[in-house]
Amino acid sequence: MKRLLVFLLLFLIGITFPTGCAFFNSKKTDEASANVLSVYNWSTYIDPQAIKDFEKKFNVKVKYDTYESNEDLLAKIRPGNPGYDIIVPSSDYVAIMGSEGLLEPLNHQNIPNIKNLSKRFIDPPFDRGNRYSVPYQWGTMGLGYNIKKIGGELSSWGDIFEPRFAGRVSLMEDLRATLGVILIYLGYEPNSSNIEEIRKARDFLIKHQEVIAAFAPDTGQNLLDQGEVDIAVEWSGDIFQIAEENEDIRYAIPKEGTIIWTDNLAIPAGAPHKELAEKFINFVLEPEVGAKISNFVKYGSPNQAAIDGGFIEKEDLENPEIYPTPDIASRLKYADDIGKATELYDDAWTEVKVAMSNSFF
Ligand code: N2P
């Protein structure tokens, strides 16, 4: 009872003098948080050891939160950075966030390890001069599946929409990538702004809804691993991560091609620890550190020095589903920032969801 009263008293002081309390505490909080780097990254996207190594090397703490999609990241940052120092948007979202003033320009003098990056990731069209971002990892969206359950290999987007897979397929809760691969399958561009083509992709999903068990967040690979679905359309590395423990899991880039992406380290505007954030970026770009992360998450490394130095696992480098051959690479397409046409995708996506929820009743 006494504890309850004390709690109530503290609560009342808190709501009566919120600014006063914040002011009263601010010096202490600043000192305590000066050595804390706040990182906001996709789930299953780092080797935890790399975080520990950074903490040790710079005598700091890392606060690490995860998100499931670019849309979630943008929704968190747009109303005002709640205190993150590092975020990891995909290329099209670097363009969007940069143009909205949501990113801090990088001081390249604090990031000399930029020199380690492969030339093809330097000065990209979505972020000229790498003003706001440097590449972190890259990969594809493809077919994760359990070969024992399927009874053979999958090689086309069309394979997963067969009636025999009713209720056994998860797609991703990522509207541009998911509608993008359907557009590719239908023979269109994943960056189409043609309303008829986007509607055809929408109608294709609605027509084949019986196979769709779920639109999974970034952790959809767990549904496959736990046997809740037999096919999970997922990001490449997430499937390879579970394949390390489960020998029945396979990943395939469909023959029609798919979405490729690059995710990038960036500092959101108003980050409380910009210099420490630049130290972190520089640390990740060290060949051994970059390789440690890629070897763990099983995505492609943009770090040429890590590849040339022999730090990337040979088995991964030789896997064409992680490091595609030129032939496969010619069928991979980036989702670009398409400006206003994004609304057409938003509408199509909502219509898919509405059609599917209606058909449950
Ligand atoms: C890792 C997510 C990969 C990011 N879980 C896709 N852009």
pLDDT digits (tens, 9 = 90+) for 329-354: 999 999 998 999 999 999 999 999 99
- Per-residue pLDDT, 18: 37
- Per-residue pLDDT, 21: 36
Window from 3-7, 80-84, 101-105, 294-298 with minimum mean pLDDT = 3-7
136 lines ligand 1 (CB under 6 A): no
Distance 93 CA to ligand 1 centre (A): 13
Mean residue pLDDT across the chain: 91
Is 2 a residue whose pLDDT tops 80? no
Distance 42 CA to ligand 1 centre (A): 6
- Quickly list H helices, the chain: 2-16, 18-33, 48-58, 70-77, 91-99, 147-150, 175-185, 195-207, 221-225, 236-243, 274-284, 287-297, 304-308, 314-317, 326-329, 342-358
- 360 versus 111: the higher-pLDDT residue is 111
The pLDDT tens digits of the residues spanning 299-311 come to 999 999 999 999 9
Q: How far apart are CA 18 and CA 345, in angstroms?
A: 42
Query: Among 45, 94, 225, 297, which residue has the most ligand 1 atoms within 8 Å of its CB, making it the best to mutate?
Result: 45
Q: How far apart are CA 128 and CA 63, in angstroms?
A: 30
Q: Which atom of ligand 1 is nearest to the CA of 43?
A: 5
* 313-334 average pLDDT score: 97
- Per-residue pLDDT, 358: 80
* 277-293 average pLDDT score: 98
Is 7 a residue whose pLDDT tops 60? no
Is 80 a residue whose pLDDT tops 80? yes
69 lines ligand 1 (CB under 6 A): no
Query: Among 42, 88, 136, which residue has the most ligand 1 atoms within 8 Å of its CB, making it the best to mutate?
Result: 42
Is 28 a residue whose pLDDT tops 50? no
- Per-residue pLDDT, 17: 33
Residue 286: pLDDT band with limits 50, 70, 90 = very high
- Per-residue pLDDT, 314: 97
Is 203 a residue whose pLDDT tops 80? yes
Q: How far apart are CA 103 and CA 314, in angstroms?
A: 36
42 lines ligand 1 (CB under 6 A): yes
The pLDDT tens digits of the residues spanning 166-199 come to 999 999 999 999 999 999 999 999 999 999 999 9
- Quickly list H helices, 63-194: 70-77, 91-99, 147-150, 175-185
The pLDDT tens digits of the residues spanning 117-157 come to 999 999 999 999 999 999 999 999 999 999 999 999 999 99
* 107-116 average pLDDT score: 98
The pLDDT tens digits of the residues spanning 239-257 come to 999 999 999 999 999 999 9
Task: Give the angle 117-140-348 at the CA atoms, nearest 5°.
Answer: 125
Question: Would you give the DSSP letter of residue 5?
Answer: H
Q: Which atom of ligand 1 is nearest to the CA of 237?
A: 1
* 30-57 average pLDDT score: 91
Is 11 a residue whose pLDDT tops 80? no
